Amino acid sequence: MPDDSFGTRLRSERERRHIALASISENTKISASLFEGLERDDVSRWPSGIFRRAFIRSYAAAIGLDADAIAREFLERFPDPAEATPAEPVEAVAAAKTHEPVSAIRRNEPIVTITVRVPRWMTDRLFTVVRPWSRA
């Protein structure tokens, strides 16, 4: 069985210990579909960053395996897309930057506006001018 995939080995170990995916999902509060994908070596729907590592550690602990070793192997086989190395070296990117003023608006950057809803009674109170000589 040395040619078995990572997910297949995890599924075999889980089944050997008679542990249901629904049970792992219920105990870890992680979707069973993510674990099913893991056992098929499909981690395309898995989150990135700390959640990715926490999910695989939880799964490994739930089936009684060494969480650190499994997490290491998982990250070697399925690198975190959020931690991917940049395609260009940092020096090349820095040299290519132009020195535009900060206030310059670029065409592709969105303009953000913030709208605040104020109740009618508040606007009447704030913006109504009361003249002391008025008898209204």
| Ranges of each domain in the chain | 6-83
Whether residue 74 contacts residue 83, with contact meaning beta carbons closer than 8 Å, is answered with no
pTM: 0.60
Mean pLDDT over each residue of the chain, to the nearest integer: 80
CA atoms within 13 A on the CB side of 49: 1
The per-residue pLDDT for 136 is 54
**pLDDT score of 109:** 63
Torsion sign (Cα): 33, 35, 40, 44: positive
53: Cβ–Cβ under 8 A, 6 or more apart, which residues?
Answer: 71, 75, 80
Question: Which range among 37-41, 74-78, 113-117 shows the weakest confidence by mean pLDDT?
Answer: 113-117
**6-83: CATH homologous superfamily?**
lambda repressor-like DNA-binding domains (1.10.260.40)
Supply the DSSP symbol for 107.
T
3-29 residue pLDDT tens:
589 999 999 999 999 999 999 999 999
